[in-house]
Structure 1
Amino acid sequence: MRTKFLNHITDVELDLTKSLDAITTDDFKKIVYDVNRVPERLRTFTKTEKEDFNTYVTAFIDRCKKKGYRTKGNQHKQYSEGTLRKYYQLIDTIALFEKEEGKKVYLNSFDSKTTDSFESFLTEQYAISTAGRKLKSLKTILTDADRNNKEVDPYFKNIRGFSYETTVVPLSEAEQELIFATPMPNKEMEVAKDWLLILCGTGQRFVDCNALSKDMIKDDVIVVTQKKTGNIAEIPIFDRVRRVIDKYNGFPPKFSDNESTQNVRLNLLIKDVCQECDIDEELEEVKNGKRGRYKKYELITTKTGRKSLATYLYKELRWDAQSCMAITGHKQLENFFIYVGGKNSAITEANKKRVEEINKETIEKRSESLKISP
C-alpha cells in the first residue's frame, strides 16, 4: 500500500503539464481512488439523494432478523441479539453525532471531512476500543448500502475500525466497602457510586445491569436473562446491593434512558467516585493501547464490576468455576480462568486451600475415631 501511494505521488510530481502551485486536492483524491480501485463511475461523485442514515440502519436490522445468515458450512443461523445490538447502538450514536454537528446525517454523508469529524466525536465520547467497533459497524452499513446500489460516498472504502487493549482492573472487597462508606460531594456522584456498587455486587455486563428492575428480584435473588448469551443468571443479593435496593426501593435512577449515553456518563463518573475515595494506587497497566503507570481510579470502567465479583467469588469465597460462570455469563472455562487472573495460579491456590481443609477434617475424624476405639 505504501509503495502504491509513493508511486502515485511521484506521477503527480512528474506531471510536466502542471506547476507545483497547480497541484490540487483533486490530484490527491485521484491517488486515493486509484489505490482503492474506485470505479470510474464513482470518481466524479455528486450527492443527489438524501436517504436518512438511521432509517437505512433500521431497515438493515429488520433484514438481518428476517434472513439470518449462512455459515461457512452452509448452515442457516439467526443473528444473535448481541450482534444486532451493535447496530441499534450505532443508531443512538449517529443521533448524538447529529445533535453535536447540528445537521442530519445521510447515507452519502460520509466523505473524508464527515468521517474525520465522526471519528473525532467517537474518540472523545467513548473508549478507544468502543470507538473502533462503532467505526467497523459504520463501514458494514455503508458497504451493505453500496451493494444495494444506494448512493454512498466512495470514501467509505477508507474507513477502518481499530481496537486497543485496556486492562480491566477489579475492585477488592476492602475498596468496595470504602466506596460504600464514603459520602459523595453531590447527588450525581452519589447515584454513580450506587451504580458502581450494583455493578460490583451483581457481576453483570453493563447492558444487563442497565436493564435491572425491581420485578427481577424473586425469592431473594436477582434473576437476569443475559442479553449477549441468553443465559438466565440467578444472582444472590449481597449486603451492599441490598442496601442500595432498599435506599431506592429498587435500583438507582439513570442519567439517561439512552443506553449508550448512560454508559458514557457512568464511565466518567465512577472514575470520579473512586478518586474521591482515594483509590489512587499506581499500577503498571494498559489504557487505550498504551502501557504506562496509571492511578487505579483512571482504569475504573463499567467493566470493573463484573471482574470484581468474578475474582471475589472464585479467589476469596472459593466458589467452583462453573458456579461463578453461571453468574458472570462466561461460556468458556479457559476464558474465565484468564479473566480472574490466570488458569494455573488460580486453580493451584483454590485447590491448595481446599486440600488443606480436607486434610484438617480427615485428621479430626481420625482422632475422633481413635478415641472411640477400645
Structure 2
Amino acid sequence: MTKKKISDIIKKICTEEEEYPVNTLLYFVSQYINNRKERICYSTYKRYKVFRNLIARFEGFIKNRITISNVNCEFVQNFILFCKQEYYNENTIYRSLNFIKTILNFVEKKGIATSIREFEFKRIKEEKEVITLSEEEITSIKKTKIPAALKDSKDWLLISCYTGQRISDFMNFTNDKLLEIDGRLCINFIQQKTNKKILLPLHPAVIEIIKSNNNSFPKLINAQLYNKNIKKIGKLAQINEAIKAKKRIGHRAESLLVEKWEILTSHIGRRSFATNFYGKIPTSLLISATGHATEQMFLNYINPLDKDQILCLSNYFDTIYNQQLS
C-alpha cells in the first residue's frame, strides 16, 4: 500500500469521526489528530485511536463529559483507578496519560489555560521480559518443512531476524532498493516510523532467500495474516518453550504461561536481531543497522550512510555466518 493511499485512508477516517462538544478533552483530541493527519502514518493514527477510545470509555464510566478544565490531578488518579479496574496494561495507561499531556500542551498553545503544571504521574517501572528467538530456534525454523502457503511468511520471518527491521519496513523491501557497495549487496531505504535513512548490508542468509525466490524478495503479506502465519510456523518448528508472558486481549494484557510460538508477532525479528548479535558486533554498528534512538550518545556519532561502517558490518555478518556453517 502506498503512502498516499494510507494518507487518504487516515483523512477519510478523521473526517468521519464523531463531533464532540467544544472545550471537552475529546474535542481537542479530535482537533489534534486532524491537525496532524497529513504527517502521521496509519500505525500512529491507530495508536491515537486507542487513546481516544479509552478516554471515551472513561467518560462512559463517570457518565459525564470531561472538559479541559477538569483534566487535573484528580482526573489522573481516577483515570488510573478506572484503567486498573478494567485490567488495561500499564503501557496503555501511561502512554494514554502522556498523550493527554500532549493534548494539554496543544491546548495551551491556543492560549487556553490548563492544569498542565499539576498534571503529573509517577510510573512504577515494571520488569519487562523481552521475547526473542535464539539462534538455535531460528535454525530450527529454517530447517522446518512447511506448507507452500506459509513459505513467504517463513522467508519474511527469517529476513526480519537478519535485518532487524520493523514490519512496516522489511515488508516493503523490493529489488529496486538493492545496491552493491564494493561487491557487497545492500538495501537502501527510509524507515517509515522514524524517517531515518538506512543503508544495510544484507546478511548471507537474506541473500540466500532472495536467490531462492528467483532473485526477488518474497510476496507482500498484510500484517494480520503474517502474524497469524508465523505462529503456525513457530508451532511446526516446535518453538514451544514455556514462558510467562503478557498476552494482549483487546487493549488489555494478562500474564499467562504460554508456549513461545503462541506469542510470536512481527516484532520478534527485530528483537532477535538485536539480542543475537549483541556482544558479537559493536553496538554502534547494530544501532546504525536498526536505526534505534534509545542509545542517543551512540547515534550522535553515527552516519547510517557511512561506507566504512556498512562494509565493516557486512564483514561481521560474513564471519559469523561462515562460523555457523563450519
Give the alignment's TM-score, normalised by structure 1: 0.47
Aligned to 2:231: 271
Aligned to 1:180: 142
2:148 maps to 1:198: no
> Which range moves more in the overlay, 212-221 or 171-180?
171-180
Alignment map for 1:273-352 (pairs within 5 Å): 273-283=233-243, 285-287=244-246, 293-314=257-278, 318-330=280-292, 332=295
> Which range moves more in the overlay, 287-296 or 321-330?
287-296
Aligned to 2:220: 253
Q: Is the alpha carbon distance of 1:321 and 1:54 closer, same or farther for their aligned partners in structure 2, counting shifts above 3 Å?
A: same
Q: CA deviation at 1:200?
A: 0.4
Counterpart contact for 1:279–1:296, Cα < 8 Å: yes
CA displacement 1:22-67 (0-9 Å, x = unmatched): xxxxxxxxxxxxxxxxxxxxxxxx93699696564131477xxxxx
Greater RCO (Cα-Cα under 8 Å, separation 6 or more): 2
- Counterpart Cα distance in 2 of 1:93 and 1:58: 14
Counterpart contact for 2:186–2:199, Cα < 8 Å: no
Q: Is the alpha carbon distance of 1:305 and 1:278 closer, same or farther for their aligned partners in structure 2, counting shifts above 3 Å?
A: same
Percent identical = 20
- Counterpart Cα distance in 1 of 2:48 and 2:288: 35
Aligned to 2:21: 47
Amino acid in the other structure paired with 1:182:
T
Aligned to 1:361: none
Q: CA deviation at 1:304?
A: 2.2
- Counterpart Cα distance in 2 of 1:142 and 1:180: 47
Alignment map for 1:129-140 (pairs within 5 Å): 131-132=92-93, 135-136=96-97, 138-140=99-101
CA RMSD of aligned residues (A): 5.5
Amino acid in the other structure paired with 1:230:
K
Q: Is the alpha carbon distance of 1:90 and 1:305 closer, same or farther for their aligned partners in structure 2, counting shifts above 3 Å?
A: closer
Alignment map for 1:80-119 (pairs within 5 Å): 89-93=43-47
Counterpart contact for 1:170–1:305, Cα < 8 Å: yes
- Alignment partner of 1:47: what SS? coil
- Counterpart Cα distance in 1 of 2:237 and 2:128: 22
Q: CA deviation at 1:93?
A: 4.9
- Counterpart Cα distance in 2 of 1:295 and 1:335: 36
5+ residue gaps, structure 2: 1-19, 54-65, 68-74, 113-118, 248-252, 300-326
2:194 maps to 1:228: yes
Counterpart contact for 2:157–2:269, Cα < 8 Å: yes
- Alignment partner of 1:233: what SS? strand
- Counterpart Cα distance in 1 of 2:174 and 2:189: 10
Aligned residues: 252
Q: CA deviation at 1:197?
A: 1.3
5+ residue gaps, structure 1: 1-45, 63-83, 100-106, 151-156, 256-261, 337-374
- Counterpart Cα distance in 1 of 2:162 and 2:122: 37
Q: CA deviation at 1:167?
A: 2.2
- Alignment partner of 2:196: what SS? coil
Amino acid in the other structure paired with 1:278:
Q
Given candidates 34, 38, 43, the residue that maps to 1:58 is 34
Counterpart contact for 1:313–1:319, Cα < 8 Å: yes
Q: CA deviation at 1:266?
A: 3.9
Q: Is the alpha carbon distance of 1:164 and 1:216 closer, same or farther for their aligned partners in structure 2, counting shifts above 3 Å?
A: farther
- Counterpart Cα distance in 2 of 1:149 and 1:334: 36
- Alignment partner of 2:213: what SS? helix
Counterpart contact for 2:196–2:291, Cα < 8 Å: no
**Structure with a larger share of its residues in helix:** 1
Q: CA deviation at 1:253?
A: 0.9
Aligned to 1:363: none
Counterpart contact for 2:51–2:96, Cα < 8 Å: no
Amino acid in the other structure paired with 1:303:
H
